[in-house]
Structures are given as C-alpha cells and as structure tokens.
A and B are shown apart, each in its own frame.
Chain A
Amino acid sequence: MADPMNVVGRPTPRLDALERVTGQARYSPDIRLPGMLYARILRSPHPHALIRAIDFAAALELDGVVAVLTHENCDIEWASGDRANPRMLFNNPVRYYGDAVAAVAATDRHTAEAAAQLIAVDYDTLPFVLDAEEALEPGAVPVQPGGNLAPPFGALAGGGAAVPGPAVYERGDVEAGLAESDIVIEDHYVSKHHNNAQMEPRTAVAQWESGKLTVWTPTQGITNCRDDIAEAFGLPYEQVRVICEYMGGGFGNKNQCQDTDLIAAELARRTERPVKLELTRKEDFLSIHGRWPTSQYYRVGAKRDGTLHAIELTGYSGMGPHIKSSGDIAGIDFYQCPNVRKTVHTVHTNVTTSANYRAPSYPQGVFGIASVLDAICHEIDMDPVEFHLRNATRQYRDATPYTSYGLIDCIEQGAEAFDWSGRRRPAAVDAGPIRRGTGMAIGAFTARLGLSNAMLRLDDAGTLWLHAGVTDIGTGAKTTLAMIAAEAMEMDLDRVEVVWGDTDRSPYSVGESGSRTTSHTGFAIVEAAEDLKRQLDERGPPGPGEELVAEASPNPTLDGEQRYSFAAHFVELEVDTELGGVHLTKYVAAHDSGRIVNPLTATSQVKGGVIQGIGMALHEELLYDRNTGIPVNPGYYGARIATHLDTVPIDVVFVDTEDAHGPWGAKSIGESTIIPVVGAIANAIFNATGRRIKELPIGRDRVIGAMS
C-alpha cells in the first residue's frame, strides 16, 4: 500500500464545481465583445468536386454582411489540419461533404447564415471514394495528388521527405510462427467512424488590438493552439494570446488549433472588429473529426496449451482527405508473442476526416485482437482469464521492462470483483430468446514523461498561486494539480489558487491530450515546490508586499524502460436474440494508474470512458450514402450517441502499484478507460449467443443477422 498522504489520495470535489453547477463557468461560446461580428461557414454539398467559380456579390449586398472569405481571396495554410499534404483554410478541390468553401462575417448570426446561402458556387463534381480498401485499388479516384496511400505517420512526424507506404512493425518470424502453431485463426474485423461528439460545439472568438491577436477558443492545449495560430499568421508567439477558461469536452478533437480559430482571426483582421465563428452541431460532426474506421485482417496462432505464438495484422484506416494523426490500429502489444508482424495503411478517402478520439488507435484494434484471441480460447476450451494471465504483456514488446506493472493484478482483482468464476459459463448455454453472457478484455496506455512547466507564487497572505497551462477539459486537472501543489508544499488545499487557461498568464503545458497532464505538469509542480520550500527555509515566509516565486521546467526521460497504465474490464450482458437488443447487467473496470491523486474524479473518468465505449460497441456510427457520398446521420440522435438509458452500474477497482516516476508514482487514466470496452462487450455477446459479430456497431440489425 502506498504511504497515506495529506491531500493526495483523498476524494476531493472539483475546485470549480460551484462554477459548473451555477452556470457561472464561462465557455468560449459565452464570450461577447462590443461590436462583435458573427461568422458562419458555407460547406461543400459534394464529397469531391472542383470549384469552377464562386460568386458572393449577392451575399455582400445583404445588409449587415461585412466580409466573405473563399479560397480565391484567402490562402492561409492550416498546418495542423494535415501532416501529409498542404491544407488551406479553404480548399479547391473540396474533398469531403462538409469541406469549408466560404466564410461570412455579419452583424448577427441570422444575417451571416442568410448570406452564406446567397453565395453561388459552381462545382464540377468528381468521382469519389469512401472506403479505405477501395481507395487503394488500381484506378481508384485520387483524393490527394500524391495518391491515396499516405506515408507512415512516424515518418511524417520526423520531418523530411516521407514516402507513401504502410507502417510496419515486426519481431520474430511470423510465417514460421504461424506454421509452428497448433491452432491458427484467420479473420476480418471492421470498425466504423465514431464521432467525439463533445458537448460544446466549436466556437472561436478573435480580436486584434494593436497588432496582438487574442483568440477565445475551446482547446485542450492553449500553448499548442497559440503556437499554431502564430505560425499561420507569421507572428511571434507573444503577439498571440489564447484563452480557454472552461471547455465543454473534446476527447481528442480539440487538440492544437482548428481552422475555426484561424478563420475567425482572419475575418477579425480584415474587418477590424472582433469576430465570433460558431459551428452548428452538424458542422461539428463533419468538419472536426472522429475516430478512424478500420478494416483489420488477422492471422493468429497459438499452441495447444494456450501459449500465443504468432500474430499477423494487416490493417487499413480510412482517414478522410487529411492526415492529422497516426491511423494506427493498436492492441496487439498487450500480449507476449515471439512472432509479430503488423502492417497498417493510412488511406485518404472522401469522407469526413478522422483523427484523435480518446485512446485514438485502441478500442477499434482491441475489438479485433480481443475477439480473435477469444475465438482461440473457445477453440482450445481455455478460460479467457487463464489465457490472459498466461499471455498478457510482461515487458513492452517482450523487450523493455515497465517502470511499474499492475496488469496481472487488474486481471485477478477485476475477475474477483466480478465473480468471474461464479458467472462465467460455456458459450450459448441459454435456450430462451434472452441469453446471458460474460466477456473480458485488457488494455494498456502510455503514462509517458516529458517536458512541462509550472510556476508557484507564495504571497504574503499565505496563498499559493499555481500557474499551469491547462484548461481542465473535464478531467478535473485543475483540482488534481492543486492537490499535488498542496501536498508538495504541505499546505491545505484551501490555500491554493490555480491560474489557468490563458497563455499570457500560465506557462507552457503540453496540453491535455495523451493522458499526460498529471504526469507531466504534476511533476513540474513537485519540482517547483522543492525550490519554493528551499527558498522558504532560507528566507522565511514572504513579508508584506513580498512574494516567493519558483518555476520548474523538468523534462524527465526514461532509460531503457517504458511507463504504462493498465486495465482489465469484465462485463455481463443479455442479448435479446429475437429483437437484437443488448442489455448490460454488470461491469467491472480494474485499473492500474499508479497512485490515484483524486479518487473522486479518477472514478468519474473510468465510468465516462466505459460508457463512451458502450456507445461505440453497440450504437454509434457515422453512416454514408454510398451513392451520393453524403453522410446521412451527423448529429446526436442520428449517430445514436449514448444516453442515460445506456448505462450500467460500473464497479471501479484501482490496484495498487508503486512507480518511481511522475508525481509520487501517479500514472495516467483518461484514455485507458475506453480501451478494453468494445472487446469485452463483443466477447460477452459471443459467450451469450455463440455467434461472433465482426463489424461495429453491434446493433440490433447485426445481432438479428448473426442469429438467423
């Protein structure tokens, strides 16, 4: 058991809970500046088309319309919108239904909306391709000039000339491994576009004052967002200020800057007035991004005693026209295996762009590999818990030790909390229309270390001011970081005030993505506190009008180790084999996230991740009309986003691990929570019905299809 601490480890309500329950919390859409214009975007009604001409004279004639931007009069590049190809704010050709064609600024939103409708665009429609594998067939329509196969993301991140091709990872000899296996399963799994659907739609408010640009925008990383905006406008960083006081969720789609930030800023520059650009929910669904759809071909071999011996995965990720993130298909690294080959193609298609959504490459990959391994368990008649105890990773890629390791504890303690041995039954034993089943899956997510910054100021009233470049996207980061500061300074939490969400007032932060905030910024706080305590010892408390200030910018690294958080999830459910419904009845989520700083908010993270995963497994999908290339259900209702009726009681188990890094061994939590969910549910559906459903979402249609 980790040592008890004074503040860290105690369930603590959020410091800003009051602002959140009284409506006082100020989000970007709440910003209203004197003289502010409202902007709206006109978007492509075609999945792929060349713009021959745009005529916006009628729009400009409308009373109240101040400016119109199109690809003809605005050539600003949105660098973070595509790592592989140049991406402008307005592109010609347009490459997906919803691509931005023009933006209008007017004195009110209704006028802006009306004006956008008055813009006449002459399109030459082009053939389009929606599916990643079809996009790689000979003769497929080129979505980008360089072809439809993108370079591996790792090559892009390294800079330099990147050559199109799949990302390949290999160890051992997979062909020999398959030949040596007693049982080989060959199968194909398909996952779909799954929208982040964060509650707060994209809104950006931009204002220029004496050459300095201020942008209020919902972002997970104020520093990255500021840097991206500065680069796009050729400004020094100090000339750009990004403010995000409160943020209504993002789950990965509010990293860096969005085109909305740049369009609002450009309209504000041209009109010399503040501009607020608002996206509708439909635009948000189509023009930001969601989780990439995948097609996964597996060949997996095991020995008769249940030892995993070979894994081959060939995968295709449909990224839309632009490459914003890896397109990887992850999950096979959760297992020990001597012979592995993974080949993943990231492919351009004419659908809405895909990029990061909570544990970006994992839940879809785990759906595939966890299903295949469950099939192996079934074939050799081995209990999945036993199989996982035998095969779960012990070292990263069987080579590099972990700094701390609680995966086996997660499996064992989770199974016990779930009463796995009592509940688990052979597959398809119920005879009636309602059939009960159990399933499990595991997960791991990096708890990496890295550069961050924190500043502490102790004033003469004894208040500790913590300056941290976070926005608190809903994770509770402000509270977690204040707790770390209080603990490090041996002070009461009441005496800590957090200064956040403003690049002019808070220092560099890596941004709230990649489950990094606690490890990175938390560690910087501990270091700054060491310095502050040293100053206190030397100089005593600050006198009247004085302050003690300490700042730290640590950049810790790992030597020959990997740092990961782990999870094992267990689910019981009922399948209605006649009507196709799936009803969850029990869920246990066991997690190793190192030391838990705030058990109250950490538990909320787990529950939230699990329910997002339930939605992905059973309902959610962005559907396209294959004849027109037009998405038919962009919105909460159409995409069947989870509601209060999709919940199941969730038991959260945190296993104890001691980790020598980060703030007192705290690892990561936000993303590992969603990783095993889809795999565990799919396996439980097999256990209930004896039918394995290989395409997401596992809706009523697919269940009924599988039963017939």
Chain B
Amino acid sequence: MTGITRRSFLGRSSAGIAATATLPALTAGPQEKAAAQQSGPAPRTRIELTVNGESHALEVEDRWTLVEVLRDHLELTGTRVGCDRGECGACTVLLDGKNIYACSYLAVWADGKAVETVEGLARNGVLDPLQQAFIEHDAPQCGFCTSGQLMSAKALLNEGAEVTEQSVREALVGNICRCSNFLNYQAAVLAASRGA
C-alpha cells in the first residue's frame, strides 16, 4: 500500500486543533439560553471534565448525554450519533481510557473524569498510528462509523495485551459499519498494533 502523500497533515490539521483549544465552554445561542430559563424545571448540574487533555467546567442539564455535550456544546462533532441507543458504536469515546457509548452515558456521570475523542488522537500534527493505518487500509468508506471504530481500537491497544485477529473482532464487535468495511478495519487495527 502507498502511504498518504497528497496532503501534508500538519498544514491542514493545525487550524482544527487550535480551534478546539479555544472553544468556549458552553456555546448555546441566546435564544436557547432564554428558552432553557423559561422552561424552568429541567434540572442542571455543574460538572468538570477533561476532554482531550483540556479541562472544562460546564453547567449541564441532567438529561443531556455525554455525546450531546461533546457535539452540541463543545463542538466536537467528530464523535457521531448513529442510533442514540447503545446499538451501533458510532458515538464511542474513551472514558478514563476505556471505550464507552457516549450516547448512553449521561454527561453528569462524567464529572471528574477524562474523556478522549477522535479529535484528541492526533498529537502535534502527527496522526495516531491507528489513523495512519486506517488511511492506508481504506478503512473508512462513508466514514460515519470511523471515529467509533478508532476509539474502540484505541481502547484495545491501551490494554497492552497481545492483539490477534480474533481479539480485534471481539474488541470492535460493538461498532457496526453498515458500509461493511469490517475486514479493512480489522486489518488496519492489526497493522497498527504491530507498528506496521
């Protein structure tokens, strides 16, 4: 396989990373804020959490899920919602290093915890080896499940145990890919685990 030669990742991604770092904690528009005040009873709680190494203090509605906070309030839209009910894995993030479905995890539960999302994988303009392997193995087709596949794969590699074809399949079983590019995802994770 050829490596990615076309674009310099550094040039393109630095803007994205800088923007992430300067986001306001809560970005609801004035109308939304006014509406939330009027509607009164939706209870709110202040939480502090770390996202991709950066700490955020937020007031969240108790009914908000973690993925809602990430996508709608921290503008980290790289985490996708495929089902919003714990069936597809598109919303997978790491919570203190372990993969969870962010659609099925309330934001208030994340108080005091560290969250990693797809946006945190590349560091200093260098892709994570998993991301590089995903590109080389043509893992994303439509790409909608990709962030989730990456984060579950990351959790697997974080465990540090020996990675085999079967352990990859089992680690990713909660991440559906309807483009059904499963074989390429599996090959990419195996390659990344071997430093290939």
Residues of A within 8 A of B (CB): 10-15, 17-27, 29-30, 32, 34-36, 62-64, 106-108, 110-111, 196-201, 246-249, 251, 280-281, 473-476, 493-494, 600-601, 603-605, 607-612, 615, 635-637, 641-647, 649-650
**Chain B residues positioned under 8 Å from A615 (CB to CB):** 180
Q: Does B180 contact A642, Cβ atoms closer than 8 Å?
A: yes
**Chain A residues positioned under 8 Å from B147 (CB to CB):** 23
Decide if B22 is an interface residue (CB 8 Å cutoff). Answer: no
Q: Does B175 contact A608, Cβ atoms closer than 8 Å?
A: no
Q: Does B81 contact A29, Cβ atoms closer than 8 Å?
A: yes
Bound CA–CA A545/B91 (angstroms) = 46
Interface string of B24-67 (1 = CB under 8 A from A): 00000101100110111010000000000000000001010000
User: Nearest CB to that of A108 among chain B residues?
Assistant: B32
User: Nearest CB to that of B139 among chain A residues?
Assistant: A21
Q: Does B179 contact A249, Cβ atoms closer than 8 Å?
A: yes
**Chain A residues positioned under 8 Å from B88 (CB to CB):** 199, 281, 636
Q: Does B117 contact A644, Cβ atoms closer than 8 Å?
A: no
Q: Does B186 contact A647, Cβ atoms closer than 8 Å?
A: yes
Interface string of B75-86 (1 = CB under 8 A from A): 111111111110
Q: Does B184 contact A23, Cβ atoms closer than 8 Å?
A: no
Partner of B169, one of A14, A64, A644: A644
Bound CA–CA A609/B186 (angstroms) = 17
Question: Given A22-B121, A607-B180 in contact, is the A644-B7 Cβ separation under 8 Å?
Answer: no
Partner of A644, one of B4, B78, B172: B172
Question: Given A110-B63, A281-B82 in contact, is the A13-B4 Cβ separation under 8 Å?
Answer: yes
Among B3-28, those with CB < 8 Å from A are 4-7, 9, 12-13, 16
Among B94-102, B107-115, B127-135, which stretch is in contact with chain A? B127-135
**Chain A residues positioned under 8 Å from B84 (CB to CB):** 280-281
Q: Does B87 contact A637, Cβ atoms closer than 8 Å?
A: yes
Partner of B184, one of A111, A280, A604, A642: A604
User: Nearest CB to that of B7 among chain A residues?
Assistant: A18
**Chain A residues positioned under 8 Å from B158 (CB to CB):** none
Bound CA–CA A326/B163 (angstroms) = 47
Residues of B within 8 A of A (CB): 1-2, 4-7, 9, 12-13, 16, 29, 31-32, 35-36, 38-40, 42, 61, 63, 71-72, 75-85, 87-88, 90, 117-119, 121-122, 127, 131, 134-136, 138-147, 150, 168-170, 172-186
A618 to chain B, nearest CB (A): 13
A14 to chain B, nearest CB (A): 7
Q: Does B4 contact A18, Cβ atoms closer than 8 Å?
A: yes
User: Nearest CB to that of B36 among chain A residues?
Assistant: A108
A5 to chain B, nearest CB (A): 16
Q: Does A11 contact B142, Cβ atoms closer than 8 Å?
A: no
B34 to chain A, nearest CB (A): 8
Bound CA–CA A357/B1 (angstroms) = 31
**Counting chain B CB atoms within 10 Å of each CB, which of A249, A280, A601, A642 scores highest?**
A249
User: Nearest CB to that of A23 among chain B residues?
Assistant: B78
Bound CA–CA A27/B75 (angstroms) = 13
Partner of B82, one of A10, A13, A110, A199: A199
Q: Does B144 contact A636, Cβ atoms closer than 8 Å?
A: no
**Chain A residues positioned under 8 Å from B170 (CB to CB):** 644-645
B128 to chain A, nearest CB (A): 9
**Chain B residues positioned under 8 Å from A642 (CB to CB):** 176, 180, 182
Bound CA–CA A64/B35 (angstroms) = 5
A241 to chain B, nearest CB (A): 21
Partner of B142, one of A24, A34, A200: A200
Given contacts A63-B35, A604-B138, A641-B176, 10 further A-B contacts (CB under 8 A): A12-B2, A15-B6, A21-B140, A25-B143, A64-B36, A198-B142, A200-B82, A200-B144, A604-B141, A607-B181
Q: Does B173 contact A645, Cβ atoms closer than 8 Å?
A: yes
Bound CA–CA A609/B142 (angstroms) = 13
Bound CA–CA A197/B178 (angstroms) = 7
Bound CA–CA A646/B5 (angstroms) = 34
User: Nearest CB to that of A251 among chain B residues?
Assistant: B178
Q: Does A27 contact B80, Cβ atoms closer than 8 Å?
A: yes
A27 to chain B, nearest CB (A): 7
Partner of B144, one of A10, A11, A13, A248: A248
Question: Given A199-B90, A199-B176, A200-B80 in contact, is the A22-B131 Cβ separation under 8 Å?
Answer: yes
Partner of A14, one of B72, B81, B138, B178: B138
Q: Does A24 contact B13, Cβ atoms closer than 8 Å?
A: yes
**Chain B residues positioned under 8 Å from A19 (CB to CB):** 143
Partner of B140, one of A17, A30, A247: A17
User: Nearest CB to that of A106 among chain B residues?
Assistant: B35
A115 to chain B, nearest CB (A): 11
**Chain A residues positioned under 8 Å from B35 (CB to CB):** 63-64, 106-108, 111
Bound CA–CA A607/B138 (angstroms) = 12
Bound CA–CA A365/B11 (angstroms) = 51
Q: Does A611 contact B63, Cβ atoms closer than 8 Å?
A: no
Bound CA–CA A197/B72 (angstroms) = 24
